[in-house]
Amino acid sequence: MEASDVEAIERQLGREPRGLREVAHRCPCGRPDVVETAPRLPDGTPFPTLYYLTCPRANSEIGTLESSGMMKEMQARLAEDPALAAAYQAAHDDYLARRDKAAEESGVEPLPPGTQSSGGMPTRVKCLHALVAQELAVPGSNPFGREALDALPEWWAEGPCA
């Protein structure tokens, strides 16, 4: 990973990033906005969040979506729509497979079976930040991440956040 990317991520987070593997997505402004992290931190602590949204502007806009009631509406649709539930289950399964592959590539022990994936998957809609991060990193992977992403304004329009 480029030193300039690590520096940008540090500025975005306001702290040193942990367990960085790579930039998983770049904002249209050119800066990293999603990073892929190792499933275990350097000290061995489990870190189940594979895709981490680093852009503070995107995070702020997603927070606005969360407070609008979007997650409650998504949760209701998840319970009523078998095709949507199957797509969300597939997003969960893909996330776990990619996290296990990241563990193997990082030379660390994979997280135990049953460890949470992200964002409440596969039965709840708990964190749009995580679902959007997955969708940005792996386009077409997460139906709720895509919906939330499509509802966001162009957070990058004012230029780089860091």
Domain map of the chain by residue range?
3-151
Among residues of the chain, what percentage have pLDDT more than 90? Answer: 91
- % of the chain with per-residue pLDDT over 70: 100
Interatomic CA distance for residues 61 and 85, integer angstroms: 25
> What pLDDT does residue 160 have?
80
What is the rounded CA–CA span in Å between residue 162 and residue 91? 30
State the DSSP code for 46.
B
pLDDT bracket for residue 122 (50, 70, 90): very high
* Strand ranges (E), the chain: 20-26, 32-37, 51-53
Local confidence band at 94 (pLDDT 50, 70, 90 cut-offs) = very high
- Cβ neighbourhood burial of 39 (10 Å; 0-12, 13-18, 19+): buried
161 pLDDT above the threshold of 90: no
Position 21 scores a pLDDT of 96
Per-chain mean pLDDT for the chain: 95
pLDDT at 81 over 80: yes
Q: What global pTM score does this model have?
A: 0.94
